[in-house]
Structures are given as structure tokens and as C-alpha cells.
Structure 1
Amino acid sequence: MVEKKKKKKKAQLPFRLNILFFIVFLMFSVLIVQLGVVQILNGEDFQKEIDRTIKDTTKIPVPRGKMYDRNYNVIVDNAPLYAITYTPPKGVQAKDRLDVAVKLSEFISMKDEDGEFINRITDRDKKDYWYLLNEEEAKSRITVEEAAEMDSGEEYSTIMSRITDEEISNFTEEELEVIHIKKELDKAFSLTPQIVKNVNVTPEEYAKVAEHLDELPGINATTDWDRDFPYGDTLQNLIGKITDQSEGILADNEDYYLTRGYSRNDRVGRSGLELQYEELLRGRKEQIQYTTKKGKVIDSETVVEGKSGKDLVLTVDMELQKQVDEILREELKTAIEKHPQGNRYMDDALAVMMNPKTGEILAISGQRYDRKENDFKNVSFRTIYDAHQPGSVVKGATILAGYESGVIKPGSSFRDSPIRIGGDEPKGSWTTGLGVLNDYGALRRSSNVYMFYVALKMGGENRYPFPNGETARFNPDAFREMRNYFAQLGLGVKTGIDYPNEATGVKGTLLKAGLLMDYAIGQYDTFTTLQLAQYVSTIANDGYRVRPRLLKEVREPDSTGLGSIYQSVNAESLNRVDMDQSLVERVQEGFRQVFQTQGGTAYSYFKDKEYNPAGKTGTAEYEFTDEDGNMVYTLNLTLVGYAPFDDPEVAFAVVVPKTGRGVSQQHPINNVIGTRILDAYFELKEQRAGNNQDDETEETDEESDQNNDE
């Protein structure tokens, strides 16, 4: 019985094997059929896909345009730098970038000369690195149930939050180097070069990377550039800044730049003229088309030649600019050293020089004294952005407002005697005993009272002399009317300068008779130094207000020197004051008397000048609360002018805020600066004329010698 069972089991074993063999046979048959389908029906398509080449275009940034001064001296250039860049191919993953970072760390250092890392990394950067090294461990920290309720971004963030501080606190210096490099690689966009390092790249680093490019997919050793300033910090703050490679385009205007062909890591003008003329300075990127096959680049072709940005020729005369900067520093330092206590709040001196007929800015200077560092800083931009009460320099505008409104006529006279409205303190001039003055005398002697009567009459108060202690009749519309006349001259409105975010000053909101009187002598609304320069230029230019500008020409880039003219910028008249030419001429004459006639407030400084100057002095009382909560009483000292009187070629404005009360008479810094910068302008002009004459003489002598030889 037992033997029969054994035989039966032996008989069943081959049958099972047969079934197994049959199943295997069917599987192989299916595979063979499927292989046949792939080879016969789809083989050609698959082969085409394998052989298919992909063409992608990448854009390479070019250097920005240079800047020149009006005499074609380079003031902003491009300095070449070694640079290591990364251009990620399509489909690159975080693991791939990590591999590149590890390999690249063998050839470059992300530290500066002091051994500190160039850029900062965060805990998140460290966690990203730890995650890539410990991916399975990291993913185990979130349950299947948790993951089911999250999208991929939430899941990753949750994992990051569960990586402990201890786990990322003990990286070696080599690992930190890799993290720094990978952070730069992660910033890159597909087929767009990203700077990995362009600061302190040594020739050795550059050479090593260049030798191992085949081991570093996406990495390139190339050249970058940075802005270079041959004149140092002279005018540099007005020229402005560009973003660095790590910043790229400005986030606030990302859409604006992207729609104009920029990449996210392109450097753009951040401020000043770099921002104002970004479209001209940016240039045209070089476009290279790469052909890839089986994921490898097999060919490249330049489809669009790169072209540097256009060069700008500015209106500024850098030799004059340097002299004006130095004059402001010297006089500011002298005033502070002579009266350290009285001038302890004085720290700025501002000046603008421009051609009143063309609006060309010849020099634009701001100097700030840093008491803690005992040094000066260039702050030229403050001539455009900072507004101050200007004092009596605006009295020319007040006289013109009085003429045009009909409240005074040429030759109208008033006795200079203090005026008291109601219970207010009396308002008078800077000194007593000025007597009866007409419009010329009011400007020459800088009478406040004369301007007070203009303001009162414009407000509807016609009593003269005004009965002291009584309430003045006043129509608040007089503020609007007088401000309108001032605006025609450039005060309280934008000058139109080609510079970002120009300030217009602050308008007082209270509308009272006494405050309009203050406005008429420049002690209510505030104006910028540039507005004052445009104002005096308008008077010098027979009432034509010209747009001030910093750009003279645009030139095509040329590696050998100055390129051909792309665009010339012409003078632009914004408006002409709405009044008769003869009235403007009376103010011009009044300004001439200020500088050139006995009794003029600037006569002692300009009486002997051969360049025939004219202008107006100013002093405004300025009160503010200091850091200790104390009320401080200071003066803003100002001066405006132009020369020559009969054919103006230069106009200027000087503002020195917060000078000490009393010490201003011992060192009237506004008048000293005004004298020195006009002297500098005409001395420079004479010097250049002499040099030109010498050149012409040499050419004539050479021609004479040549003729004699012949």
C-alpha cells in the first residue's frame, strides 16, 4: 500500500513541471511578440527619438556702457574679472547639482582673503544638504498617513522642520564649502549662466576649473566685469549703483524686466544714472544656440552677436567737479574748526553749477562731514533730494510775483520799518535803518519789509504803512497765486532733471497772512539746491526755464575709444515766465547790484570780479529739536548767482544748512563758496583757452616749418 502511494506521487511531479514549463513558455512568447512589435512597428520611431537632437538658446550678458564727462574723460568703466559660472542643462536635479558642487569644491574656495565665506548660508541651506545625503532617513520622519494629506511642497517643508539643529551643527569646513557652492548653483535657471564666484577668483582657480570642465557639467570659466571709477568717489554716489549677480534684477520690478528680455540674475541699475539710463547702458546679449544629442552638447553657434551697452557722455566737467568738491570740503571744515560749538549741527554743504541757456549740469556737489569718523562723504544726490528753507535768495521771485499781480510797479517804494500783525511778534529786516527802498534797493539791501508788503497786498491788505497791532485783511488764495509765480521759475515743482525720484520740497499747510509774509522771504516752503539753481538760471535766461540735465550725448560702444554719436540731447525749454521781459530785466539789474554795487549784500565778495557776476544772498532761520530734546536755533545760508551778467554762461546755487547763529557773520560760508566756485569756473576756462592758443601756435609753427622746408 505504501509503495503504491509513492508511485502515485512520482507520477504527479512531471505533470506539475509541465505546467510550469508551459507558463514560462507563454511568458517568453508574450515577450517575443512584444519585442517584435517594438522592433517592427515602433522601431523606427524609437530610433528617431534616440537620434533626435535638441536645440536650445542661451543668452550671455555683455558689459554695460561706459560714462564720459563733457570733455570725453572716462569716469565710469568696466574692469574685467575672472568668473566661474554655472549653466544648468534641462532636467537637472538637486542631486546632480550636489555632485557638481562637491567636485567644484576641489578647485575653488568660497572664502575671502580673511578666511571668511563670501556669502552667508542659512540653516535651511544646511538642511537641504543634509536631506540629500540622508534622503531615506529624512523621508522616514513623515508617516504615510501624513504624506497622503500633503502636497509635495508641504511634505518637504515638514521633513525640513524635523531635521534637528544638532544634525546640521557639525559640518566640516569642506562640507560648508560644498554648501556654499551648491547654494549658488541652486540659484541658476535653465540655460541661463549664473555666477558661482566672481570675487577674488585667483588665476590658479580659474586655470584648474578650465582644465576640468569635462568633469563639471554646466560649469564654465569665463570673464565677468565690475564697474571701475577712474576718479574715485568723485560723483560716484550720483552715478549710482548696479545690483550684484546674487541679487539679479530688482524683485520689486521683476515683471517689468522679464518682459523686456532680462534674465532673473541679470545685473541692472539700482540707483542714480545707472537706473535712469538702464535701457541704454544694458547692451544686447550674445545669444548662443546649443545642439544636444543624447543629453550631450555636440555643437554651438552664435546666432546673435553680443554688443556692449551704449556709452553716455555726461554734461559734467570732472575737473571743475573735483575743484567744487574740494572747495566745499575746505570751507565746511574751516567753518567748523573756527566755531566748533556754534556750528556743531552744521554737516552739509551743497552746490549746483549749470549752463542757464542749455540746462547742462556742469558740477553738482554735496559734501557731508562725518564727525565720528572725522572725514567727508560725497553726497551729491542731496542737491536733488534734500529741501531746505532758502531765505532771501527767493526775493527775485517775490518781486516778479508783485509785478505780475499788479500790487507793485517798477520803482514802487516802501519804508523799511517793522510790521506787527495783531499780537504777533514784529517782523522786520535783517538790520535797521534801511530807509525807503524801491525794488532795486529792496533786492540790493535784501529788505524783508518790502517783501512783506508785496505779500500783504497780494492777500488783499492795501494799507500802507500797516497799522501795527491790527489784524490784516487776508485772502488765502494769495498763497496759490504766489506759489504759481514761484513755480514758473522752478520753485516748488519738479525741475525735470534726468534723474530718478526728484524731490520738490515741502509746502506749508497753514494759510495765514504772517505765513505768506514768511514765504515771501523764503522762510516757509522748502526747496532743493537744484530748484534754486534752475530758478536763478530762469532769471539769467530772460525768463525761459530750461530743463536741467546730466546727459549730453549717447555714443555707440567702440573698443578702441569713443564711438560714433547715437543721440545728441538738446536744450529743452519748459516754459517762459508769464510776464513782460522788461520786468525780468529789472530783477536782473537788482541781482547785479547785489554783487556789484556799494551796499549790496554780496558786494564785498564780488565787487572786483572781472567776470561780471550777479545774484542774491539768503539767510533763513531754522529751528529743530536735537537728539536730547532741546530746541536748536540755526541758520540756513544760501547764495544764487550767474555770470557774466550780460551773457550768462554759468549759474549756481549754494546751500549750507544749520549753521550757528552769530558765527555766520564771522565766516559767511555761502558767500565764500560762491566766490570760489565762480573763480574756479572762469580760471579753468581761461586756462583751457590758453592751452588751445598754445596748441594753435604749435600747429602754425609746424606748418611754417613745413613750408620753409618745401
Structure 2
Amino acid sequence: MNKDTKKKKRDSIPFRLNALFLAVFLAFSVLVLRLGVVQVIDGEDYAKAANAKKKATTQLASPRGIITDTTGKVLVGNKAELAIAFIRKPNMQSDQILTIAKKLSKIISVDEKKVTFRDKADYYLLTRFKKLDTAYNKYLSASERKQYSDSTDPKKQAIAYNLMAKRVTVDDVKSIKPEEMKILAIKHELDQAQELTPHIVAKGLTEKQMATIGEHLDEFDGTIETTVDSTRTYPNGYAFYLGQVKDIPEEKIDAFEAKGYNRNDKVGVSYLESQYESYLRGLPTTLTFPMKNNKLVGAPKREEGSRGDDLQLTINMELQKKVNSIVRNQLGKDGARNEAYAVVMNPKTGAILALGGAKRDGSGKIIDASSGTVGSQFQMGSAIKGATVLTGYQHNAVPTSIYDMPIKIKGTNPFRSWTSSIGTIDAAHALMKSSNVFMGRIAGNMAGFHITPAGGQYSATWVPAITDPRFQKAVEDLRQGYSQFGLGTRTGVDIPQSQEATGYSGGMPDNSGVIMYFSIGQFDTYTPLQLGQYVSTIANGGYRVAPHFLQSVHEPSQDGSKLGNTIYSYKTKVLNTIPNTKDQFDTVQHGFYLVTQPGGTASMLGLGQNAKFKIAAKTGTAQVNVNTGLENLTLASYAPYDNPEVAVAVVVPNVYSGHPNSAIALKIYQAYDDIYHYTEK
């Protein structure tokens, strides 16, 4: 090795050492920086995580908020009962639970009817044998003991115990004394509890019982807590839209647990109780247990919760009760009418004031069916003709005027109006007289029919095939036009979507002439609430507003006689506007006004003393069975016609004759005026 090579090696050693020192320095710098981040930035999070491992929490449900009507009358309240809850700590054994049951039996008692034979068998095995091995020797064979009970596998031990419990006989459990049944019944309730999930053991306790338990809480090592259990009450009667409170549905348990609920909590499962669960649910009482060596020790720290927020609805209970009575009374005792529905709402805001429905059950008894206002669907007949005219205007398909006479389409019966000798009519008078022919001409113009007068009737000289693109577009345009008013689509009402029917679409007609029946409400089906939304849209001049029950949300008040501070007020929701001119709406509104005037199809609503109600309306008749003559009678209306403040929709399905639709509506307007005095304004 020459001198130059040795010199180069000597020169490279300091460089490598310096590089190594620099790398070590940088590594330590990164570690110091990371330590600083952990201590300064993440320190609080790590501290919380460490503390969390030193404690465990659970919750006791608090009472739900109340629900009132628009005047403050309580519709849904709470019946509070003094109660005790059992909190099962992890790895609690049967003998520990039995000890708790014995202590409680000196203070409370529970229903012994819930005790099962298996409960008795478990109690027998637990109390009649000092050691479980002795019981195994009695009830299991040698091979079973070797295979199961002698195993260290928990699953096999469970099999051994279940085999043994099944072999306990009726004679064996006869040794359980009557005084022991009290203990056994309490143990049965305790056994229902899951780990760290409070379970109500007994409710309806006296203050003396609660005081006694309170004095002995330390003896229960945090497994027993006093609480208040509440159940829903309905001081003014139950209405479907209020909804129900029940156990969490099995398929939703995971979702509710993710929101902080216990598995056995009660929740709103339908209608408004479900829709506004987040408001109505009370703030739970929190129980925080200290932990030592990963075990819960002692009694928990208790942080009291509070009652849920209160809801004030748009419903007027006085009016609701009157509507219920009106609908039921219209069914009568003669059996001629089997069901009827009514919707009362504010056409400008969408506020629902009352929903009524009644029908006969299989035995002929009249029962409440008001849920049918949102959940049942019917052909509405001519009541929807206002939407037909306005949709026709959108497609330049409305005749200026026509002479009303039957339309003959080859191979079909003539399409005619119910009333003869209508004569020459424009759009407004077509609504007044309920001209089917005028509506048929609108549909025909949209679909491309060629219609000409032919000696006392119109003859369709050219009819498009059902596969013709223009025909299919006309059907879809009509359906789309109706949906602008809320017919055949979701209304936007504030209940769970699964509980509102959307009506039934008849699809594409199998005969070209059916489009004319579609234009007079005898093809697709709609709900009574949709009929109410439709007529509200006509009344307010073209704004489809979402119907709603909620008026406002309030903090729970200290004084139960009045609502607390308002934390939310419902704001009117305009879902869409109708693209028609004011003149076109004026035409339809004028037609609705003429319906209740002499010569109109509901003139009884505007004659004599009824004129003061200023009702505008459109009647409807849908043939549902040509052979039997059954019809759906409907009415879409609002008042006063010059400044609408209330809309009333009525559906009386499957009737043979009469005018129960108009009769129901008139009595509802009378009832509304009795409360709001609108005719005096």
C-alpha cells in the first residue's frame, strides 16, 4: 500500500465520524421534538385516554319532552314513577346477584308471574348445593362430567350447566318456599340486565321505599341507583301522528348506541316521536364508576340529567276533536259509508290544523283511521281538474272555449261529462260544471289527438298509438304537472318518509283513450294529504309548501303550566313554484269559486247562510267499480276565497250516492269559524 492511499484513508475517518455524529444529533433532535409534541400538543388527549381507563360510565334515561297543541294543551305528557335501576358490573356472578336480590326483598316486591321454570331451576341449583360439583354429580353422568364440567373451556362448562338445569324436576323446585319466591322474582329482574346498562327493577315505589333504599345504597356497591321512570300519557286522547315510544328496534341498536344510547333505552319509533327524537330525548343522568385493576369499585359519581325539549304543534286539539266527530258521524248507522278522511291545513304556511279519519272494521264497528290521511291512496276524480287546467296551460293545450259533447274514440264508449246540456264553456266554467270533455280535450291536445265535431259529438279522427313518443310524453307531462302540486309525490310533511304513502302511478296506459280518464283523476291514486297540498297550492297562487306538524321547540320550563324559552321556530318551506301566470291562476281560482255558486257542483257550500264562509272548491267523483256503481267522492276546497286562510280536503271512498264530501267540508268550516271567527274579519 503506497503512502497516498494510507493518507486518503486517514483523511476519510474524521469525515465519517462527523457524519455519524450529525446523524445521531438529528435523530435525537427528532425524538426531542416528538416528545415535545406529545407533552405539549397531545398531552391532554393522552391524559384523557389514561383517565378513561381508570373509570367507566353509563347512563340513566331522563323523561322525554312533552308535546302540546298550538294553544298549549298537553297532547303527550309523562307519568313519572319512583324507581330503582340495577347496574350489572362486569363479571358479576349469580351468587352476588342473589345477595342483592335478598337485600332488596326486604324493601320491595315485583311481579312473581314473570318467574319461569328455568329461573326456579337456577335458583334451586344456586341455593340447594354448597358446591356446583355436587350438583354436577347428581345430574350429569360420568362421561358428561369428563367431557364438559371438568373442562377448562368456558363453552363446555356452559353446556354442562345447561344440561344440569334442564334436568331439574318439578319435584325438585317444590322445595322453594313462598317467601323465597319474592327473592326469586327480584333476581329474575336483575338477571335481565346487561353489563353497565341500567335496568329498571321496580317502579311505582313509595317515597318511604325510596328513602329506605337511599339509606342502604352503600351496601349495594354501586349496583343499585334510584331514578324516575316515565311513561307517555295522552291527556286529550291518542292521535296517530304523535307516534309511539318503544324499545330500540333490533336493526337500529348499533346506530343508537353510536349516538350514546343504552341498548334498553326507549326511543321514538314512529311519526313525531321518531321525527323529533333528538329534541324529545332527555339529557341522561351520567354515572361514572372508578376503576382499580380494571375492575369497577365503589359507588359511581352521579351527574344529573334533565327532561327533553318540548314540542308545540300546529294542531288545534279543539278543532281536531270536532273533525273526528264530524267524520265519524258522517259514516252513520245505516252502513252506506265505510270510511272517510279529512285534512285541514293553512294553505299559506302548510301548518296542519287537524287530520281526521274513520272506518268500519270487520264487525261493523267504527274505528279511528286518521293515519289513512297520509298512508292511504285513492283515485280522486274531478277534484284534481284544477291541476289539469294549469298543466294544460303550461303546454299550450287549453282551448279558449268548447261546446261540451261526448268524444267518440273508435272501439271505446263515448267519453262524456256527468252533466248533460253544459253547453259552451271556457276553462273557469269547465271547472264550475266539472266538464270531463273539456279536460279530455286538454289531454287530447297534449297527446296529438285529431278531434272534430261530428253530429252531436266529437270524433277522434286520428288517435296516437300508446307507443307514440308524443303520446307517452303527454302522459309523463300530465303526471309531472300533477306532481308540481304534490299529487303522486312526497309532500315534505315532517314525519318519517317510510310512513307516508306517495300514491300509485298507473304507469303507461294500455289504451290511448285512457289519457282522458287520467285528466279527470281516474288513473293514478293520491293520498288525502296530497289532495290538501294540491288545493293549498291553488289557493296561495302557486307555491307548493310542505305540510308540517311542528310549530316550535322549547326548553323544558321550571313551571310545568307553560312552555319554556323558544329554541327553534318552524319556517315555511316552499318546495317549488308553479310556472303559470297570475291570469291563469285567477282563471282556476275563479272556477273554484263558481263551483260553490248557483249552478256549480257544490252550490250547497255557497247558498243562503253558507255564503258567509266564502268557500271555493272542486268536487270529485271517481268510478271505482262500474258494475256495482261504487264511487270515491272527494272535495278540494279553501276559504275565504278572496284571502285564503284554511284549506279542507275530504275523501269518502266506496260510496253509492249522496254528497258526504260536501257535507263533511261544510261542517268543518263551521267548526273552524266557531274557533277562529274568520267570517267576522
1:63-99 deviations in Å (ceiling 9; x for gaps):
1111121122222221211223212234322332233
CA contact 2:145–2:160 (8 Å) conserved in 1: no
CA shift for structure 1 position 168 = 5.4
Give the CA deviation at 1:354.
1.0
Q: CA deviation at 1:689?
A: 8.5
Paired residue secondary structure (1:308): coil
Instruction: Provide the residue aligned with 1:393 in structure 2.
Output: 383
Q: Confirm or deny that 1:438 pairs with 2:441.
A: no
- Contact map agreement 1:416 1:437 (CA 8 A) in 2: no
**Which range is displaced more, 288-297 or 55-64?**
288-297
Q: Which moved more, 1:561-570 or 1:92-101?
A: 92-101
Inter-CA distance 162–92: structure 2 relative to 1 (3 Å threshold)? closer
Q: Distance in 2 between matches of 1:677 and 1:385?
A: 22
- Whether 1:408 and 2:413 are equivalent positions in the alignment is no
Structure 1 segment 681-700 matched on structure 2, within 5 A: 681-686=672-677
CA offsets 1:102-136 (integer angstroms, 9 cap, x no match): 4434544433xxxx83xx56665555555545643
Instruction: Extract unaligned runs of 5+ from structure 2.
Output: 1-52, 466-470
Q: Name 1:380's counterpart in structure 2.
A: 370
Q: Whole-Å Cα distance in 2 between the matches of residues 323 and 647 of structure 1? A: 24
Partners of 2:680 and 2:285 in 1: CA distance: 45
Shift of 1:101: 3.1
1:618 and 2:620 aligned: yes
Looking at structure 1, the residues matched to 219 and 109 of structure 2 have their Cα atoms a distance apart, in angstroms, of 18
Cα root mean square deviation, aligned: 3.1
1:279 alignment partner in structure 2: 278
Q: How does 1:594-633 map to 2 (within 5 A)?
A: 594-595=595-596, 597-607=597-607, 608-623=610-625
Contact 1:413 1:438 (8 Å CA) reproduced = yes
- The Cα of 1:513 is off from its aligned counterpart by 2.0
Q: Which amino acid counterpart does residue 445 of structure 2 have in structure 1? A: K
Give the letter for the 1:516 counterpart.
I
Deviation at 1:577? 0.8
Q: 2:244 corresponds to which letter in structure 1?
A: K
Partner of 1:499: 495
Partners of 1:143 and 1:184 in 2: CA distance: 31
Q: 1:97 to 1:600 in 2, by over 3 A?
A: same
Amino acid at match of 1:408: V
> Which residue of the partner structure matches residue 61 of structure 2?
61
CA contact (8 A) 1:459 1:513 kept: no
For 2:229, the equivalent position in structure 1 comes to: 224
Q: Is 1:536 paired with 2:535?
A: yes
After TM superposition, give the deviation of residue 422 of structure 1 in Å: 3.2
SS in 1 for 2:451: coil
Contact 1:540 1:588 in 2 (8 A): yes
Measured against aligned partners, the alpha-carbon deviations of 1:36-76 in whole angstroms (never above 9, x if no partner) come to xxxxxxxxxxxxxxxxx964433222111111211222222
Provide, for residues 366-417 of structure 1, a one-character-per-residue CA deviation record: whole Å limited to 9, x for no partner.
Answer: 223446373533x3322111111111100111111211111114x3324232
> Is residue 2:188 matched to residue 1:188?
no
**Alpha-carbon contact 1:518-1:524 (below 8 Å) kept:** yes
Contact 2:449 2:460 in 1 (8 A): no
Question: Does the C-alpha gap of structure 1 residues 129 and 521 become closer, same or farther in structure 2, counting only changes over 3 Å?
Answer: farther
CA contact (8 A) 1:416 1:450 kept: no
Q: Secondary structure at the match of 2:673?
A: helix
Task: Give the aligned partner of residue 347 of structure 2.
Answer: 356
How far, CA to CA, are the matches of 1:603 and 1:230 in structure 2? Answer: 40
* CA offsets 1:183-208 (integer angstroms, 9 cap, x no match): 4323323343211133x556676566
Larger mean CA deviation between 554-563 and 492-501 belongs to 554-563
Match of 2:33 in 1: none
| Superposed counterparts of 1:4-153, under 5 Å | 55-105=55-105, 107-111=107-111, 117=113, 120=114, 128-129=122-123, 132=126, 135-136=132-133, 137-138=135-136, 140=140, 142-145=144-147, 152-153=154-155
Mapping for residues 229-378 of structure 1, pairs under 5 Å:
229-233=234-238, 235=239, 237-243=240-246, 247=247, 249-291=248-290, 301-302=301-302, 304-332=303-331, 334=332, 337=333, 339-340=334-335, 342-343=336-337, 346=338, 348-370=339-361, 372=363, 374-377=365-368
Which amino acid is the alignment partner of residue 497 of structure 1? Answer: V
Residue 417 of structure 2 is aligned to residue 429 of structure 1:
yes
The alpha carbon displacement at 1:444 in A equals 0.7
The TM-score normalised by the length of structure 1 is 0.78
Structure 1 residues 305 and 220, CA, compared in 2 at 3 Å: closer, same or farther? closer
- Structure 1 residue aligned with 2:650: 654
SS in 1 for 2:492: coil
Separation in 1, partners of 2:635, 2:318: 22
1:613 aligned partner, one-letter code: I
1:440 corresponds to which letter in structure 2? Answer: A
- 1:257 is displaced (CA, Å) by 0.7
Q: Deviations over 1:523-553 (max 9, x none)?
A: 1111111100000000001011111111111
Secondary structure class of the residue paired with 1:80 = strand
Q: 1:588 aligns to what?
A: 589
Please say if residues 456 and 513 of structure 1, whose CA atoms lie closer than 8 Å, have aligned partners that are also in contact.
Answer: no
Instruction: Return the alpha-carbon distance in structure 1 between the equivalents of residues 452 and 180 of structure 2.
Output: 87
Shift of 1:256: 1.2
Contact 2:268 2:274 in 1 (8 A): yes
User: Is 1:130–1:168's contact at 8 Å kept on the other side of the alignment?
Assistant: no
Residue equivalent to 1:14: none
Question: What SS is found at the alignment partner of 2:474?
Answer: helix
Cα shift readout 1:625-647 (whole Å, capped 9, x = no counterpart)? xxxxxx86522111110111111
2-structure distance, mates of 1:462, 1:183: 80
**Aligned position for 1:700:** none
SS in structure 2 at match of 1:481: helix
Q: Which residue of 1 aligns with 2:660?
A: 669
| 8 A contact 2:449–2:462 mirrored in 1 | no
SS in 1 for 2:326: helix
SS in 1 for 2:320: helix
Q: Which moved more, 1:146-155 or 1:277-286?
A: 146-155
Question: Shift of residue 215 of structure 1?
Answer: 5.5
Residue 635 (structure 2) aligns with: 639
Structure 2 distance, partners of 1:321, 1:195, is 36
Kept in 2, the 8 Å contact 1:416–1:447? The answer is no
- The one-letter code sitting in structure 1 at the alignment partner of 2:634 is T
Give, in angstroms, the shift of residue 516 of structure 1: 1.8
Q: Is the 8 A contact 2:419 2:433 kept in 1?
A: no
**Amino acid aligned to 2:641:** F
Please, what TM-score do these two structures have when normalized by structure 2?
0.81
Q: CA separation of 1:91/1:157 partners in 2, compared to 1, >3 Å: closer, same or farther?
A: closer
Residue 678 of structure 1: CA displacement? 1.0
Deviations 1:116-172 (A, max 9, x none): 83xx56665555555545643358353423579995346524652564477258566
Amino acid at match of 1:260: K
Task: Please say if residues 128 and 160 of structure 1, whose CA atoms lie closer than 8 Å, have aligned partners that are also in contact.
Answer: no
Gaps (5+ residues) in structure 1? 1-52, 625-630, 691-710
In the alignment, the residues of structure 2 paired with residue 683 and residue 461 of structure 1 have an alpha-carbon distance, to the nearest angstrom, of: 50
CA contact 1:351–1:652 (8 Å) conserved in 2: yes
Q: 2-side partners of 1:674 and 1:152: how far apart?
A: 70
1:450 counterpart letter in structure 2: F
Greater shift after overlay, 392-401 or 74-83? 74-83
Instruction: Summarize the Cα distance change of 1:677–1:143 in structure 2 as closer, same or farther, 3 Å threshold.
Output: same
Residue 507 of structure 2 corresponds to residue 509 of structure 1: yes
Q: Give aligned-pair identity as a percent.
A: 37
For residue 562 of structure 1, what is the amino acid of its counterpart?
L
